[in-house]
Every structure is written in C-alpha cells, then in structure tokens.
Structure 1
Amino acid sequence: MGVMSGYKLTEVGVIPKDWSVKKLGEIGESLIGLTYRPVDVRQHGVLVLRSSNVQHNDLCFEGNVFVEVDVPQRIMVQNGDILVCVRNGSRELIGKCALLDDRANGMTFGAFMAVFRSSHGKLLNQLFQSGIIKRQINEHLGATINQITNKSLNSFYVPLPPTNFERSAIAETLSDVDSLLKSLDHLITKKRNLKQAAMQQLLTGQVRLPGFVGQWSRNELRCLVSTPITDGPHLTPKFYDTGVPFLSVNNLVDNRINLNDLRYISKEDDSIFAKKCKPKRGDVLLGKAASVGKVAIVESDLDFNIWSPIALVRTGNQMTPRFLYYQLLSADCINQIRLLTNSSSQGNIGMGDIKKIQVSYPAIEEQIAISNILADLDAELAKLEARREKTALLKQGMMQELLTGKTRLI
C-alpha cells in the first residue's frame, strides 16, 4: 500500500512532506539526576523529584524526599523541563513523564530520573506520552535491566511540524485535553473522599439519617448469614475454552465482578462443586487469598462458580447483602481483615477468621436507606470515571492524528 500524496515514510511512520524528523539530542539535552546518600536526607532542604512525584503525567507532591547537599545549578529544574522516569523496578513505569512548571521551582531530580530540556518542551511532553516514543523506549530497554540511558534518550526520533505556530497549536490543543483530564481527576478524588466520609459516618452510626432511632447491634459475621459461610473447591479442576465461568480473586476488580480473563469448568464439575458452593444473586464475595479483602456483590443471574480463594457470604434476615457489602469495605472491617491476615503465616485469611469478623448494623429499614445513599455516590463516581476513561481514549486518538500530521491544525 503506497503512501498518500503529500506524505512521506520516515523513521517514525508516515508524516507530512513538510514535516521533519529529528533525534531528541538535536533539539534539546538530556540531564542525569542527582546522586545522594541516605545521610543527606533531611526533613527540609532541596526537594528531589522522583518517580513517585509523577502521577498521571503530572506532578504529585506526596512522599517527598529532601536533601541538604550542594546541587549543581545545571540540574536544578526549570519551567518547561520534561521529567522522565528512566530507571525503575517496574518496566511499565519507564518513560512516564511530566512537564514541569512553577510548582517545581527550587527543586532537583534523582538519579533514576532524567530531565529533557528543550525549547519544544510542550510538544515533546505530548510526544513522550505517545506511542512514537513509547515504542522506542521498549526497543531500548534491556532484557534484565529496566533502564534507558541518556544515549538512548538522545537517539529517539520525533516528528516536528515546520513552524512554531503549528507546534504550539498541537501542544496547546492536547494540553487543553490534559486540563480536562486533571479536572476530572480532581472531581473523582473529591467524590471518593466524600464517599469515604459518608461511609465512616453512616456505617458506624456516628450520623443517623432523619427518621431513624434505636440502638445498633454488633455481631460476628457467622451469626448474620442464612447459610454457613463457604468457599470454592480446594482443588484445581480441568479448564475448558467454554463452559461454566469459574471465578477467582482476579475477577474481583474495583469491588465488582469482572468477567474478563475467565476460566471455564465443565457442567459436571460445576454440579459437584455446587454441593458445597453455588453463588446466586445477592451473595457477597470476599477475597481470602492472594488479594485478601476484595469484595463484590452478585448482581445478576449469571450461572457461575468460584474457586477456593473466594469466600461466599449469604446474609440472613438481620442484614441486607448491600449493607454487608459496604460494611466489608469500611475502615472497621478492613482493619479487622488486615489484623487477621497479618496473623497468618501465608498472608491469607482463613474461613474461621472470616466467620469471626464483627459487623455493626441497624434495623433493616435503616440499612436500606444507608445503602441507597452509598449506591448513589457509587453511581456518580462511576459516571465520572467513565467520562474520564472516554476522555483519555479521545486524547489517545487525537495524539495519533495530531502528532503524526494526519490531521493538520493549519
């Protein structure tokens, strides 16, 4: 298939004929970060930007490290620098970056980071987030060492529009989407904090909803179920390409049942396992091994079964499934589960311990009212998260179009 008229094939793919391809080293410089000793760390001093200070392609000032040493002026960061993670225990984090602004004044950066300094910072920041540079990073990573060197960084190819006007237009357009993503992140964080506060107040009885009075009760989980708490089979069945879905803790994602990456068992095995355990709508699932404390509620009539790392809790007439679901996500129950897990040599929580988890609860009517409020907050949070995901996908598409010149802004 030929190249479209007005375009050319280059090291970075097809771009407009009037665009050029440059190595990063030709349009800027990569700087190595500060090496310091543990004895140099202080409560105050020069803040050393590290990988943890880059989250979602933006600066994050949590878990900061300060040092008291003489830092060469050359590696004091500047407005417009691109901070890049170049070495990390996690391969996926190599290349994550942030464009530095006035918030970073007076700071430096650590030896596992690099700063790329160029007059094209805003555009290059977008290119660092794109597949154009990410592909080259993956090609340069060693088989065993998760690191890219300055030599590698300077050798990466990038496409450049011919005029500063077009470069700025592309950078500003994509930066506007970044701003929208940041505002959505802020709203999501705010909504999560609101939900956490509501859970703390409503699930402990600190705040009572209008119209509800009376004492709350507290009991062990084993006293609040209609059938004994159980788990899936403690053996490895034969798996098939189709059949009855067989869930493990990897299918409990963000406190919901996730049907991606499913295993399947035969109907015959399911019939055998069902004598001990067979989930149905309204059951609460709790991760007890590998990912202890993950929680989900069965909200459909899907025919499936569970493996031994998941416990199944079926509430009795003293408690609604939804209220138990939220209680298991509360600070009270999380702390109990953490203590019980820490006491296990294998880092799991046993069935006997699950049965002893203490749960506080009001009358059924108040449980329903509390659950409805928390479910509404969950729904609002899910809408914001879906909007953010859609916006992130939109940005990926825009980057593919704008950074390669497929769509021009002139």
Structure 2
Amino acid sequence: MNTLTNPQWRNVRLGDIGQSLIGLTYSPSNVKRSGTLVLRSSNIQDGELAFDDNVYVDCAIPEKIRTRENDILICVRNGSRRLIGKSAILDRRVSGQTFGAFMAVYRSDLNPFLRYFFQSDDFKRQIDEHLGATINQITNGSLNGFVVTLPSESEQQAITERLQDGDRLIATLKRLISKKHAIKQGMMQELLTGRTRLPGFKQAWSRATLGRISKVTMGQSPVGSSYNTKGNGLPLIQGNADVSKRATIERVWTSSPTKISEPGNVILTVRAPVGHAAIASHRICLGRGVCGLDAGKDNSFLFHLLVSSESRWSLFSQGSTFTAVGSNEVDSFTIDWPCDPEERSAIAKVLQDADQEIDALQRRLESVSSIKQGMMQELLTGRVRLPVGGQAR
C-alpha cells in the first residue's frame, strides 16, 4: 500500500448515481401478526439486520418501495439524533418487503462499495452539517445531495473485497462469541443446580439464603451536592442503568459516599428491574437501587449463581410504578449452595475461565472492528491505495 493521491478520483452526488426512496406510511389498523415486514430503525443493530422487534402490515405497497437485495436501509428520522444515519445493506432475507416512513432506502448499482461510505466518517460529517442545531431528520433531497468520492471501478472492487474480508472475520467472531455464551449458559444451568457435578465432589448441597452466606449492604444515595462527573471521590452506582451483567458502569461520582462496597464484592440491583448482578472491580458507593453482597472467598461463585437466578427475582416485584425489593427480600432469597467450599471454588473457576475466553474473543472483535474502521477511512479517501490489476498503486 502506498499513501498516494489519485487525481482520477471524482466527487459525485448520491442523487447522480442512484436514488433515495422514503418509506411506507401506514396506520395502526394495517398492523397484523403476519404480512409484509416493515423495516424500521430497530431492525438495524451494529450495522447489521436484526429481527428481534418486527412489525408486519397488510396494505397496498407501491412496487418501488418493495425492498431489493443490495438496497441500503438508512434511518433518516428519529427522536434520538445519534441514530440518524445508521444503515445496513439488505440481503435476500428481506427482498420484497418494505420500510417505514422514518427510514429511507438508497438504491444504486454501486451499493456493494457505497455501503462502506454510509458507515464512514465522511457520511456522518455530512449528516451533522445537515442536521444543525434543531433539525432531526434527513430529507430525501438532502440525502441525494450528499457527496461521495469515487475511485475507478477496478479500485472500487478492490476496496470492497478488502473490507468484505474484514466483515467476514467480524461475523465469524460474533458467531463464535454467541456460541461460547450459549455453552457457558448450559454450563451454568448444570453446575449451579448440582445436576452435573465436577469430578471428585460428592458432598450434599443445601438450601441457603443470601443473608446467611453473605453480608448484605443496602444502598443509600448521598446528598445531591456531592455528585460530580469529574472523578472526585467514589463512583456512585445506582440501579439497573449502572449495572450490566458483569460490570458496573460509572457515570457519576460522589465526594461524600455513604454505603460502600469493596473490590470483589457482588453488586445486585434491587430496583427497576430487580436482580442484575455485577462484580465491583474497585471501591464504589452503593446508591439507591442497588445493594452489596460480601460472601468472602465465595463472591465469584455467588455472582454466577445470581446471574443464573435473575429471572426468579420477578417473583419478589412490588410497587405500582416500578419493581423493587427491600432488605428482607434480599436476606431471605434462597439459593442452592454446595456444602463443600472447594466445590464452590472449583465451579467458580470453571465459569471464570469461560468468561475470560469470551472476554478475549470480545477484545479481539473490538480490535478487528477498530482496524476495519481505520482501513475504511484510509481506503475510502484514497490516502491508502490497494494494488489493482497486479499493479501497486
């Protein structure tokens, strides 16, 4: 690769090489359990098609807004500005379907190449310039007026093939991560219930409560004046918004911490919704909506046990506008508990190893995605060139 500038590259408007189409307007009475799939913003996740939240309609649909393979689906109107411009290329799974009025389809013969332009910083910059301070949509006319830099056909093909290689590796890693998650889920269901025992362990299991096997500390929000976003004091963890499956999410700090959890302790959400668990990587302040559990050497085992028991917390939900549990419900929550501490440690080690394998794959996926994004910015601007027709450019 050589960082050369090619004067043969040309700037063209999207409207000159293809067409933008605005999607279907339909009424609630058109929505059915089956029929024609209406692709919406939720059908684009991480630049790929997703089918977890589908809407189907039964109504007349103009042929021109029936989707085709290699159409590029774009979110052009949304209450969240950050979602405007997200896109995905369509495949044969959705050929002949349609798309909603807050979406657009861009159709051209160059879409295998242009799909990467729609993911690029240049496209995002043009969106930002168009949106300004108050406008929260891209019109058809504006989209057709966006400018893309095109190399020759042979170089378009070379760039497309190189970036598709990256896409294939990313897809492979995602499938592998999904498979590893499923394997770990199966391991948890077997090992954390005693249905499958690790070699060498035969001692009975018992029923225990969280209050018996751990020290429970219910969270309490500090005074509002102590909150800050500059990292002064301890991270303040409050409710489900700050707790993922395995980690706390730090957005706010407090200079006057009240209830404190030490590194390695288990964090459990007790409000909206209940039952999400995490491990504290360092000292944190327990705010409203969370509690801390300290089971000593068994913290890792307890964490995995709580992750596997998450659905059971719905039985303890109370309140008319949110779900929440108090200290009594946390203390009395029952779990299956191996009586042999060595078995608890061994199970935790197996599940930790599985987590570490998934984490390593996730880091590799993030690295490959970052490399591909960097390649895309270099190749689509001509700052880095690929060999074409056997000649280095």
- Which category of TM-score, normalised to the shorter sequence, fits these structures? 0.7 to 0.9
Partner of 1:81: 71
Q: Is the 8 A contact 1:246 1:307 kept in 2?
A: no
Distance in 2 separating the partners of 1:392 and 1:313: 36
Distance in 2 separating the partners of 1:385 and 1:6: 34
Q: Deviations over 1:71-103 (max 9, x none)?
A: 222112222211111222332222111112222
1:166 is aligned, of 150, 155, 162, to 155
Inter-CA distance 19–289: structure 2 relative to 1 (3 Å threshold): same
Q: Structure 2 counterpart of 1:325, which letter?
A: F
Aligned-pair identity (%) = 41
Query: 1:329 and 2:307 equivalent?
Result: yes
Q: Deviations over 1:321-377 (max 9, x none)?
A: 1111111211x3x22333434536444433333223222211222222221111111
Inter-CA distance 175–44: structure 2 relative to 1 (3 Å threshold): same
Query: 1:115 and 2:105 equivalent?
Result: yes
Q: Deviations over 1:43-79 (max 9, x none)?
A: 4332222222222222223333333333222112222
Q: Structure 2 counterpart of 1:314, which letter?
A: D
Report SS of the residue matched to 1:320. Answer: helix
Distance in 2 separating the partners of 1:71 and 1:104: 15
Q: Structure 2 counterpart of 1:193, which letter?
A: A
Q: Structure 2 counterpart of 1:280, which letter?
A: E
Report SS of the residue matched to 1:78. Answer: coil
Q: In terms of mean alpha carbon deviation, does 248-257 or 175-184 score higher?
A: 248-257
Inter-CA distance 78–406: structure 2 relative to 1 (3 Å threshold): same
Q: Deviations over 1:362-410 (max 9, x none)?
A: 1222222221111111001101110011011101111111111100113
Distance in 2 separating the partners of 1:86 and 1:204: 48
Partner of 2:357: 380
Partner of 1:12: none
> Post-superposition shift, 1:30?
0.3
Partner of 1:310: 290
Q: Is the 8 A contact 2:273 2:322 kept in 1?
A: no
Q: In terms of mean alpha carbon deviation, does 384-393 or 61-70 score higher?
A: 61-70
The 5-angstrom pairing of residues 92-103 of structure 1 reads 92-103=82-93
Report SS of the residue matched to 1:256. Answer: coil
TM-score (norm 1): 0.83
> Post-superposition shift, 1:19?
1.4
Distance in 2 separating the partners of 1:61 and 1:165: 35
Q: Is the 8 A contact 1:244 1:303 kept in 2?
A: no
Partner of 2:268: 286
Q: Deviations over 1:286-342 (max 9, x none)?
A: 23346754422245xx555443443121126xx811111111211x3x223334345
Q: Structure 1 counterpart of 2:277, which letter?
A: V
1:398 is aligned, of 363, 375, 379, to 375
Q: Structure 2: state its 5+ residue gaps.
A: 387-392
Partner of 1:13: none
Distance in 2 separating the partners of 1:110 and 1:246: 42
Inter-CA distance 344–66: structure 2 relative to 1 (3 Å threshold): closer
Query: 1:48 and 2:38 equivalent?
Result: yes
Q: Is the 8 A contact 2:272 2:322 kept in 1?
A: no
Partner of 2:389: none
Report SS of the residue matched to 2:37. Answer: strand
State the number of aligned residues. Answer: 381
> Post-superposition shift, 1:139?
2.6
Distance in 2 separating the partners of 1:38 and 1:233: 43
2:173 is aligned, of 179, 184, 199, to 184
Q: Is the 8 A contact 1:48 1:65 kept in 2?
A: yes
Q: Structure 1: state its 5+ residue gaps.
A: 8-15
TM-score (norm 2): 0.87
Inter-CA distance 404–82: structure 2 relative to 1 (3 Å threshold): same
The 5-angstrom pairing of residues 197-212 of structure 1 reads 197-212=186-201
Inter-CA distance 356–144: structure 2 relative to 1 (3 Å threshold): farther
Q: Deviations over 1:100-159 (max 9, x none)?
A: 222222222222221100111012110100111112122323655632211111111111
Query: 1:157 and 2:147 equivalent?
Result: yes
